[in-house]
Amino acid sequence: MKMQNIGIKSLMDNIKIFDEVGDFEWDLAEFAYDTIRSSSLSRFNERSLLLFISFPRSAEDFMMYKYNQGQDPENHEVISSRGASWEVNTNIKRSALKMDYEKDPEGAKMRYECIPPAQRGGFFQYPERIDDCVKTGKMNPAVLENIILTSEIASGAERHFVGFDVEVFKRTLELDATRTYYLGLDGGIESDSYTISLAHGEIFYEQVIEGGDAVEKPRNKPVEDLLIEWKPDKAHKVPVNVQNVVDIVEAICERVYVKRSLSDKFNSGAMTQRLLELGVEAEDKVFSNPFQLAIFTQVKNLAYTGHLELLDEEKANDDLKHLLLVNGTKIDHEKDRGKDTCDARAAAIYLCSNDDPEEITNFSMPTIAGAVRGR
Structural domain of 327: 128-139+178-229+245-368
- With contact defined as beta carbons under 8 Å apart, do 122 and 129 qualify? no
Q: Where are the alpha helices (DSSP H) in the chain?
A: 26-44, 62-71, 85-88, 98-103, 105-113, 128-133, 166-172, 242-255, 269-277, 289-304, 314-321, 340-354
One domain for residues 54 and 195: no
For residue 331, is it within any domain? Answer: yes
One domain for residues 193 and 319: yes
For residue 201, is it within any domain? Answer: yes
What pLDDT is stored for residue 106 in this prediction? 72
One domain for residues 132 and 95: no
Q: What is the pLDDT along the chain (375 residues), one digit of tens a residue?
A: 544 444 444 444 567 777 777 767 667 777 877 777 777 777 776 666 777 787 777 676 778 788 888 888 888 778 888 888 888 888 888 888 888 887 677 778 888 888 876 555 678 878 889 999 999 999 999 999 999 999 887 788 889 999 999 999 999 999 999 999 999 999 876 677 899 999 999 999 988 777 778 888 899 999 999 999 999 988 888 999 999 999 999 999 999 999 999 998 876 788 999 999 999 999 998 888 889 999 999 999 999 989 999 999 999 999 999 898 876 778 888 777 878 899 999 999 999 999 999 764 434 333 333 444 443
- With contact defined as beta carbons under 8 Å apart, do 49 and 15 qualify? yes
One domain for residues 88 and 133: no
Rounded Cα gap, residues 63 and 270, in angstroms: 48
Q: Is 299 left (phi over 0), alpha (psi -120 to 50) or beta?
A: alpha
For residue 193, is it within any domain? Answer: yes
For residue 134, is it within any domain? Answer: yes
What pLDDT is stored for residue 218 in this prediction? 92
For residue 212, is it within any domain? Answer: yes
For residue 162, is it within any domain? Answer: no
State the DSSP H helix or E strand holding residue 302, giving kind and residue range, or none if neither.
Answer: helix 289-304
One domain for residues 280 and 192: yes
Bridge partners, 207 (sequence order): 216
Rounded Cα gap, residues 176 and 166, in angstroms: 19
The per-type count for the chain, helices as H runs and strands as E runs, is: 12, 13
One domain for residues 318 and 187: yes
What number of CA atoms fall less than 13 Å from residue 11's CA on the CB side?
5
| Count of domains for the chain | 2
CATH code at 256? 3.30.420.240
One domain for residues 209 and 328: yes
One domain for residues 101 and 134: no
Burial readout 218-243 (b: 16 or more C-beta within 10 A, e: otherwise) = ebbbbbbbbbbbbbbeeeeebbbbbe
One domain for residues 91 and 205: no
For residue 264, is it within any domain? Answer: yes
For residue 156, is it within any domain? Answer: no
One domain for residues 199 and 287: yes
One domain for residues 134 and 79: no
One domain for residues 60 and 189: no
